[in-house]
Amino acid sequence: MIFKILLVSDEVENFQREIAIDADATFLDLNNAILNACHYSDDQITCFYTCNEDWEQEAQIIREEMDSTSAEDDVYLMHNTAIRDLLNDVGDKLVFVFDPLSERMFFLKVSEVITGKDLKEAQCTKSVGNAPTQIIDYDDALKGLNVDDTNIMDDDQDFYGTDGYNEDEFDPEAFEIEDN
């Protein structure tokens, strides 16, 4: 059985990828197919989440076992979890977190299930638009905002009023503590 999984991004409007993958392939295979289809490096701690129809996250599929994972959480490992273990039907949803520090992700949906066929290796069967940047460089993002530091200082100076400090108005007795 082959699953066709459509990927979209909420950052780039015209971006789409469709991955065809065998139901017996692992989530690690799907992870690698997505990274290859988007020309991303494999140096991030990526993960998947299964989602309900409202895109609320349910089970997590991670690359490596974490110490913080509790026994009551629904957590699976990518390398030993087959696609068919968690996906069954057209419309099943996942998110793929590709930038964990910024919590950026793709939204995935099973678009087609082909029975009676198998696939040796995952394939990108549809590629539209450019993928979003894999990792956001916040220094570059701030440079594009053209923030003027002098305006910030002016705002702070105006906060306490436009009149200067007048020493005659200061009452030092107001700060004294009386013993009872």
In whole angstroms, give the CA distance from residue 131 to residue 96: 13
For residue 108, give the H/E element and its range.
Answer: strand 104-114
Taken in order of first residue, the domains within the chain and their CATH numbers are: 2-136 (3.10.290.30)
Q: Which residues contact 112 (CB under 8 A, 6 or more apart)?
A: 3, 4, 90
In whole angstroms, give the CA distance from residue 97 to residue 161: 48
Please tell me the predicted confidence (pLDDT) of residue 154.
Answer: 52
Q: Which residues contact 44 (CB under 8 A, 6 or more apart)?
A: 98, 99, 100, 134, 135
Query: 96-140, pLDDT tens digit by residue?
Result: 999 999 999 999 999 999 999 999 999 999 999 999 999 887 776
Of the candidates 106, 105, 101, 123, the one whose C-alpha atom is nearest the C-alpha of residue 114 is 123
Of the candidates 20, 32, 37, the one whose C-alpha atom is nearest the C-alpha of residue 117 is 20
Query: 20-72, pLDDT tens digit by residue?
Result: 999 999 999 999 999 999 999 999 999 999 999 999 999 999 998 876 555 55
Please tell me the predicted confidence (pLDDT) of residue 115.
Answer: 96
Percent residues over pLDDT 90 in the chain: 67
In whole angstroms, give the CA distance from residue 76 to residue 83: 11
Please tell me the predicted confidence (pLDDT) of residue 132.
Answer: 95
